Structure formats: C-alpha cells, structure tokens
Amino acid sequence: MSCLTDSIIRSKLRELNGWEFDSNTIKKTFTFSRYMDGISFVMKLAEKAETADHHPDIVIGWCRVEVSFTSHDKGGVTEKCLYMAKETDKIKK
C-alpha cells in the first residue's frame, strides 16, 4: 500500500468530520465529558487498531484524546489511515 498524494488526502478528508492533514499525518481531537470516557474510547480504539494492524499515535489529556494516523514504514498517509479514521469516528459515536 503506497502513500496517497496531498490532494487525494485532502479530498478524502472532506468526507470525514474534523480530521486534519498536516506533516504526512491525519489527526483529530475527540472530547469527552468525563476523563474515564476518554480512556474507554482509547481502549476500544486500541483493540480495533490491533485487529487492523494499523496503530495510531494517541495523546490523552483531561477529557480529550488526540488521535493521529500515518504509515510510519511508508512515510505518509495511506488508504489504511483513512479507513482507521472512519473506524475511529464510529467508536466515538
């Protein structure tokens, strides 16, 4: 699976709510009303990432979780990154 061009990434992100593209990474910050809701979200995302064999970088803060995807071995955003962005949004719902 190869990296997508910047224009394709930006086009595909229009179909997703709140995801941004910067420095060969797509990212989004999710907010929660309780800290432990964010932790629960991270656990569900970790399970999905393990199943898909595509793991995000995650930053956990007070009632917020920043999730970013890139293909470290390919050096940019791939279709699998976009797939995982969609799956991450499903987990949050």
pLDDT digits (tens, 9 = 90+) for 4-49: 999 999 999 999 999 999 999 999 999 999 999 999 999 999 999 9
Compute the distance between CA of residue 79 and CA of residue 89 in angstroms, rounded to an integer.
16
- Residue 1: what pLDDT? 72
- Tens-digit pLDDT profile for residues 54-84: 999 999 999 999 999 999 888 899 999 999 9
- Residue 93: what pLDDT? 75
In the structure encoding, which two tokens stand for residue 75, read together?
């050096």
16-28: buried (b, 16+ CB within 10 Å) or exposed (e) per residue? Answer: eeebebeebbbbb
